[in-house]
Copies of this chain bind each other. A is one copy, B any other.
Amino acid sequence: MTTSWLPVPDGTDFPVQNLPYGVFSRRGELPRIGVAIGEYVLDLAGLAAAGLVQDRRWFAAGSLNAFMVAGRPAWQATRSRLVELLTEERHREEVEPHLVPQAEAELHLPVEVSDYVDFYSSLEHASNLGRILRPDAEPLLPNWRHLPVAYHGRAGTVVVSGTQIARPYGQRRAPDAQTPTFGPSTRLDIEAEVGFVVGVPSSLGSRIGTGSFREHVFGFVLVNDWSARDIQAWEYQPLGPFLGKSFATSISPWVVPVDALEAARVQPPAQDPEPLPYLQVAEAWGLDLTLEVELNGHVVARPPFAGMYWTPPQQLAHATVNGAAVRAGDLFASGTVSGPNPEQYGSLIELTWNGERPLILPNGSARTFLEDGDVVTLRASAPQAEDVRIGFGEVTGTIVPARPG
């Protein structure tokens, strides 16, 4: 197994097999590109200035977008070079000055998000929501097994892990009421998701087939798509979610390269009916990631990403089959990841079955939806050969009271 001359803790999210990219700074410094390795950030802007990696314009930047546009050959060359620098003892002396302890690094939003699309690709999540919201009808709508349902979210309110989440104000209507009331959301929820980020753009009128996923997609992030269920329920007919989602979407500061997840690829669930030709995929593109949902320090769910019905290459092929162009920084999230068992549900509306079965935390407190002061942390990792795991770090957020207008 490849190991680094830099000691990394057992079970770290960031072995040399991972090397996720992010944007960091120390106090008073300009944000720039770094790579996570063990308990350090490797400063790529510093390495580039020292002539140890190409190319300074990519790495002395406040977002990954310029590097992402450079394309797969540049991504692969950089990744190979970083492995060389971190594993060959002869490079130790020149590389060490560019290691910054993560404890000293502030992590920023890693990409300038261009468009944000959110899918609905877990069969279990879509079925659970159908059972909860339309108890007398077939849980899955007729289109669900034919196409990966999705909508556009708000790109401008995608924030990095650690950003406080102010409880949103909005309109809601009680089940038996005629008119809505206005106030802070009382049904604030999480959605544990995995997203991918586009690097290489496509042009208007062209498609990205399922076989071209790796040519366009730079990497994966962990996503918490915060949702105000009461606002959403009142507003969403007929054009979909708007203010119930647009107040904030948190993503991990680290973008895990597609190549780091090659060993995590598994056969996804069988699809019935067989999808249309443009949605068929030659390779196995399930991803064996286990997510962890932690509420106030207590793990309340472990959603399995391997069971997602629609896979990332299918999502991208669908989103572009009408000729829609993609740009560097486009974020495509999976939708809530839920497994078949209740301890695998990726949202509180499922975990508490619409508030009917409160979660009891170890300190005895009960939760249906989120309360002010609650801290939600998502984690995800993929098993790798020989006790190595590829991790995403975490996406965390604290709920703060609503801010009056």
Contact = CB atoms under 8 A, between A and B. Distances in A.
Interface in A333-360: none
Nearest to A402: B323
A151 to B, nearest CB: 4
A3 to B, nearest CB: 42
A170 interface: yes
A204 B247 CA distance: 8
Nearest to A141: B237
Contacts of A120: 239
A153 B156 contact: no
A179 B149 contact: no
Contact of A234 (B143, B151, B239, B318): B143
Interface in A82-102: none
Interface stretch (A205-213, A301-309, A368-376): A205-213
A232 to B, nearest CB: 10
B324 A231 contact: no
A149 B239 contact: yes
Contacts of A159: 204
Interface in A148-163: 149-157, 159, 163
Interface residues of A, number: 65
Given A146-B171, A403-B206, A236 B240 contact: yes
A172 to B, nearest CB: 10
Interface in A370-398: none
Contact of A403 (B169, B242, B323): B323
A207 B405 contact: yes
A235 B147 contact: yes
A287 interface: no
A156 B327 contact: yes
B182 A278 contact: yes
Contact of A152 (B153, B182, B235): B153
Given A205-B403, A276-B171, A243 B151 contact: no
A269 interface: no
Contacts of A228: 322
A114 interface: yes
Nearest to A181: B276
Please provide the 9 A-B residue pairs with the shortest distance between their CB atoms, ordered closest to farther.
Answer: A240-B240, A168-B322, A151-B239, A152-B152, A247-B322, A243-B322, A239-B240, A246-B324, A207-B405
27 contacts: A120-B239, A142-B173, A143-B180, A146-B171, A147-B234, A150-B242, A151-B151, A152-B152, A152-B153, A152-B154, A156-B324, A156-B325, A156-B330, A157-B324, A159-B204, A169-B321, A182-B276, A182-B277, A182-B278, A206-B403, A236-B239, A236-B240, A239-B241, A246-B319, A247-B323, A247-B324, A321-B405
